[in-house]
Chain A
Amino acid sequence: MFRNFCLSIAVLALLSGAFPGEEALAASPLITVVKPGAKKDAVSLARLSATGPNGRLFVQTLTRDLELSGWFTVAQNGSVNVSGTVADAGGGIQTRCDVAWGGKRFGWARVSSGQTEVRRQAHQLADEMVKQIAGKKGIAQSKITFVNRRGANRADVYVCDANGMGVLQLTRDNVAAVGPRWAPNGHDIYYTSFLHGYPAIYRINQTGGYRKALAPFRGLNTGADISPDGSRAALILSYQGNPELYVLSLSSGRIRRLTNTPHGAEASPCWSPDGRCIAYVSDATGKPQIYVVDVASGQSRRLTYKGTENVNPDWGPNGQIAYATKRSGYEVAIMSASGDSSSRIIPGPGGECEHPSWAPDGRHLVCSCRSALYLLDVEGDPPVKLFNIPGNWLSPDWSDK
């Protein structure tokens, strides 16, 4: 029973074409450029006139968004043409443009104020182009949260746009912070902070507007991941003696324990897209490996056998689980929910890569490699550094939408 529905997630994803690739090619009429990696349409912004600084920010943002979408390249001449004007107006811009490709077109007219709004409008246009031209879900409007670690017990939580722009510091505690994760509502972030001198789980808003403790109990409180319907949190607590996986109902406040490993430590819980299973890490057999538990029955199953350690599972919208596997060093891999017999390494920029997190398009991943954050593409586009700010950046989590 359990085995059946966990498998059915992967099968459904396949049937519904959630995996990018073959179907995307069929849906897209204009394939003009073939790079290593996925096939793309070339977009020309040559006839998009942008004179002021905000207009240039709009074009710069749109360019990066289109290239990071995986479906386009930006070139002088392309089969997709964006024409019109982006004029600085007030503190923002006034946009009037036209997107044309293969006999089709759509118009785009917006007014915005402030730099954040300018970027957001470019993200909206990029996602609209991905949707209308490639027939796919765009990621330009999604966000990434992560940690900047400065030294012993010194860190803060940050957030940025999916293209690495608009890096914003959310907390100003300068105290250890671990594993920020987006709630499915796209506004809240749950993370573990040592704000009070011990690890407790907190909920903060993406604007840094508020902070509330979800679990400040005895022992360890960490790893809150919110179920896709927003009703439950999967967390790691040790108030009963050693770290175990629990599910907390956010409406009733009642918790239920899902693991019972008196000599093992659990970590990194992560919900399946249908909210019926939780993938997690356990060292019950000696080394950390990835397991999946059926929440209703409490039945667990080990997923990983390759490599000495397998950690950081992230269950994507396509039914695939991304994780870090230790072969010679840590590498990012993906597998189906049936286990790692069918796993595939996703090449990084070289060196150790950890903590992958799926983008909402089920095609891209963000991970940490040698103190920087990189975007990976399961379709084969080369890794892209998210931003170029010096520092130790880690534990990225991509928002669900």
Chain B
Amino acid sequence: MPDFTVSDSTIPDPTVLSRNTKLSDQYRPVFSIFYALLVRDFHVYFRHRGAWLNPLTFIFMVILLFTLGIGPNATTLTANAAGIIWVVALLGIMLSLDALFRADYDDGSLEQLLLSPEPLYLPVMAKVLAHWVVTGLPIVVASPLFSLMLGISGKAIPALALGLLLGSGVLSFLGAIAASLTVSLRSGGLLIALLILPMYVPVIIFGSQFVQSAIEGWPLTATLSMLVALLIGSAVLAPLAIIGGLRMSIDG
């Protein structure tokens, strides 16, 4: 047994601060940290066009390839459009996720962030949110174009955009978990896919069903509420796993 009595006696009774008293007296900058990280990441992404342009280009190209593979028949394409668009959007977001924490890990700023005395919940939110704005949001904005390419009719176009708006958020939050776990590994990309694709099953089911229902004119509320529930659930819970993943990655 190592002797720990020495260190026990060195605890100075009058100066021992009960947990949280010291920190809570101070100005707690959680929201300024959230805001500062959001601004910082936007600066980083906007100085690097590829951040938002590459996933979008990828998506257009894969839609092109799908069309070439399936054939030009408009009915077949439209029948499969919802599934194609969702799978492609999912792949686009997933592939961009490897970069979410990679640069921060490599240059040491992730380390500095994890040494913050404040809870990491909001900072992690800020990182995922900033990443979603440059990857998920462009997909939502460009979704009417996908609809045109695959022959989705007028009414279903806003439904597709709404579904992608909610669903891409879920994809970002869940995917960020895998990204946080693999950021210390050199070959993170494929491993992210292995880890997270099974978790994406509900999103792809409800997301494409939402579009399908809109195309067929079926009621939308059930699938819509499921997408909303998934988004809320993943936004609330995923940051906890992401924090754990980042701490583990830094620990290596």
A is bound by B: no
Question: Which B residues are within 8 Å of any A CB, using their own CB?
Answer: none
Question: Which A residues are within 8 Å of any B CB, using their own CB?
Answer: none
